[in-house]
Structure 1
């Protein structure tokens, strides 16, 4: 079968793939973006109904276009975000092909480039960009057997409270997803337990400015990628309900029962680590450190921003932290469901090249992989802290596009030299 040829194949048409297409287009690089579903499909169908972006609309966007239907300080809904990327792709006339699945990518033997096998036929490409992002396979720790009684689902499959059977709900994981889902379930009238692990807990707003602004002026978005093997700490921040600081003390006061990390299960009983107080205090320390840094910056630069001394007063730990629950009999507590907000794993089984380390993780630096010609985009901490946010993906894509353009220049020079040798 004859194959199509292009310079770059971008796999995935979410925020990373759309950003990549924009920068490649500006460089004049021929490319195609392949998407097995629709543009930004994860935003449409891989999130719960009430999800909103974690950053305000003035911040969580690409530089080239504002949200048409969201005020700058508001938080876009998941569908507004998905529509934004579809509109952006149309604006830049991105060569996106939806409904095309990439089944394998292999290095050509004895020749430059790669053979990309797809559901729509093969494509030969000189470069490949894996822009499928980090949310590929939901991770549910093997703690509670499937036949233990409660319905178990990952946060990516949760949609709304009416989806769950009657009874109490245990939410495992206290990052952005877990906190928002637990709060929504509590508001619906459910009894909710929330299993809390180590986390970073920034203020939503402080002294009249969103935390996204503070991280920017303090230079914290540019924090370097943590070293390989460093422990990942989730971020507890939310744009829900108009954007409020995540406060585990306040969640406890609303009736959510906080417990430590979920450890084990036996004979119908879940056991929790005695680490709830330490986890809350770890988040408190991160929270207060950012407040102090913001105060110092405001004073040093003479910023006319109203002080908030009350934000530094956190109050006592809730009773659930000072006298933590260690066990929970699921049947006795009437737990009808468990929602695992425990993150995702990547799946690059289709990318059959030497671009991974011994643990199967992408072996890359700022998106440039160990396999020449293969790139990664859309991963957390790809180049810096801001890589997880929409605007950060856009800047990472520009770096990758520049790298591809530079490599094309080297290849063109090589071809010119070969042609000159043949003529001489």
Structure 2
């Protein structure tokens, strides 16, 4: 196979890889973006059919391009989002090579840079940016074994209600994915159980402004670390059907059976933790706290925004909270499917460098790895809370590209002539050529 040279290899052509390519291009840094499938493939093939972005189109985009098929206050569908990134890559002339899988990255012996092995050959690069994001390996808790009569899939494999066998469905996970899938299944006439864990529940909009706007003006997108104990808490917010605030009481009223966190399984019976009421109450407290902060901001700044007193009316707890279901016999309840909306974990098995802690998590600061020359991009809380959103990735990529460019300038430095008029030998950054 061929051997090529470039300064930067960016692995992944999703939103992180495309953003990184734009900033590297603006800085004049030679690079390649390698993508094993198509641009933004995960938006196309690893999400359910009716998925829409969680932020409105005016917010969830890069600065250099508007959505041309979606109104600014609307929520783009998954295909529209994927098409947007493909159009953006074309607009900036990103050097993306699709159908190229990176199999390994290793530091070169005795020379600067890395050897990148791919399905189409070897690339030698001075820098590597891991832009594959966090959604690599679906997490399915080892609770329910494979049992006859029960189909188990992760939310990344769910497409629509018709995909599942007839019968009731248990959805595990109360973040955006779990809530929207459970609601869709119930609207399709299914009997649905929803396992609710700890979550953050912001209003979809308040006083005429989307929650993305409120988090912006209140400075909450800039939080650099999650609250203590909330590192893995999901956000229950929805852009489905034009966008609405997630209301677990309304979901219960629609016929969805709410249960606590799924804890164990024994001989056909699932057990749930006695935490449903506490989880919903904690979500309510976060919801009301954001309303309080918004009202205070309006008052301090003299904004003419309509009041919305009904937003504070939570209503009584549903029966499922007052008298929680602690166990469920799957066969007796007619449950034939379990959808695990339980998140993902990264998979960096291909990145064989000293850049990870004992748990396999990347060691970095704002995407700058502890391994010189390696960068991470597209991870939640990479630099701040906004890192999980499309616009946040774009700004993270700018910081990473600027850091990389600065390091590159050091390697290009040549010292002035010495007293004898000779120049020291500059750092050799040119990869050696193969004899073959």
Q: Output aligned runs, 1:395-414, within 5 Å.
A: 395-413=395-413
The 1:229/1:198 distance shift into structure 2, 3 A limit, reads closer
- 2:61 match: 61
Structure-1 separation of matches of 2:89 and 2:182 = 34
Residues 148 and 268 in structure 1, CA contact (< 8 A), matched pair in contact too: no
> What corresponds to 1:113 in structure 2?
113
Checking the alignment, whether the CA contact within 8 Å between 1:197 and 1:279 is kept in structure 2 is yes
Paired residues of 2:414 and 2:424 also in contact (CA < 8 A): no
Any idea what the Cα deviations from partners look like across 1:354-375, whole Å, max 9, x if unmatched?
Answer: 0001111000110000100000
How large is the Cα RMSD of the aligned pairs?
Answer: 1.5
Equivalence for 1:247: 247
Q: Which SS does the other structure have where 1:18 is aligned?
A: helix
1:172 aligns with 172
Superposed CA deviations along residues 5-34 of structure 1, whole A, max 9, x for unmatched, are 111000000000000000000000000000
Within 5 Å, give how 1:157-168 maps onto structure 2: 157-168=157-168
Q: Which residue of 1 aligns with 2:286?
A: 286
Structure 2 distance, partners of 1:2, 1:387, is 36
Structure 1 position 222 matched with structure 2 position 225: no
Distance 2:225 2:407 in 1: 24
Q: For each residue in 1:195-227, what CA deviation from the matched residue of structure 2 results, as whole angstroms up to 9, or x when unmatched?
A: 000000000000000000000000000011238
Q: What is the alpha-carbon distance in structure 2 between the residues aligned to residue 189 and residue 63 of structure 1?
A: 41
The residue that corresponds to 2:182 in the other structure is: 182
Q: Which ranges of structure 2 fall in alignment gaps of 5 or more residues? A: 427-436
Q: Equivalents in 2 of 1:37, 1:169: separation in Å?
A: 32
Q: Please name the residue that 1:205 is paired with.
A: 205
SS in 2 for 1:303: coil
**How far apart in 2 are the matches of 1:404 and 1:117?**
22
Q: Deviations over 1:263-315 (max 9, x none)?
A: 00001100000100000001001000000000000010000000111111212
Structure 1 residue 2, shift from structure 2 partner: 5.8
When residues 93 and 355 of structure 1 are mapped into structure 2, their CA distance, relative to the original with a 3 A threshold, is: same
Asked if 1:234 corresponds to 2:237, the answer is no
Aligned-residue offset at 1:155 = 0.3
Instruction: Output the CA distance in 2 between the equivalents of 1:422 and 1:233.
Output: 53
Name the counterpart of 1:262: 262
Aligned to 2:377: 377
Is this contact kept in 1: 2:2–2:120, CA < 8 A? no
Within-5 A mapping of 1:11-410: 11-226=11-226, 231-410=231-410
Deviation at 1:230, TM superposition (A): 5.8
Q: Closer, same or farther in 2 for the Cα pair 1:417/1:353, shift >3 Å?
A: farther
SS in 2 for 1:304: coil
- Between the aligned partners of 1:227 and 1:120, the Cα distance in structure 2 is 44
Shift of 1:417: 7.8
Report the secondary structure of 2:333's partner residue: coil
Displacement after TM superposition at 1:422 (Å):
4.9
- Where does the alignment leave 5 or more consecutive residues of structure 1 unmatched? none
User: Normalized against structure 2, the TM-score is what?
Assistant: 0.95
Structure 1 residue 54: Cα displacement: 0.2
How many angstroms apart in 2 are the aligned matches of 1:385 and 1:31? 28
1:3 aligns with 3
Structure-2 separation of matches of 1:48 and 1:89: 24
Show the counterpart of 1:421.
424
| SS of equivalent residue, structure 1 residue 3 | strand
Give the Cα separation in 2 of the matches to 1:404 and 1:277. 48
Per-residue deviation, 1:322: 1.3
Q: 2: distance between equivalents of 1:243 and 1:261?
A: 26
TM-score, normalised with respect to structure 1: 0.98
Q: Deviation digits for residues 319-342 of structure 1, max 9, x if unmatched? A: 101110001000000001000000
CA separation of 1:272 and 1:5: change in aligned 2, threshold 3 A: same
How far off is 1:416 after superposition? 7.4
Work out whether residues 225 and 382 of structure 1, in 8 Å CA contact, stay in contact via their aligned partners in 2: no
Cα distance, 1:340–1:77 mapped onto 2, change above 3 Å: same
* Other structure's SS at 1:386 match: helix
**Offset, 1:131:** 0.2
Q: 8 Å contact 1:151–1:336 — kept in the other structure?
A: yes
Q: Counterpart of 2:411 in 1: which secondary structure?
A: helix
Structure-2 change in CA distance of 1:264 and 1:13 (3 Å): same
Counterpart of 2:431 in structure 1 is: none
Q: Is the 8 A contact 2:4 2:123 kept in 1?
A: yes
Mean CA deviation greater in 412-421 or 145-154: 412-421
Quick one: distance in 1 between partners of 2:52 and 2:64? 21
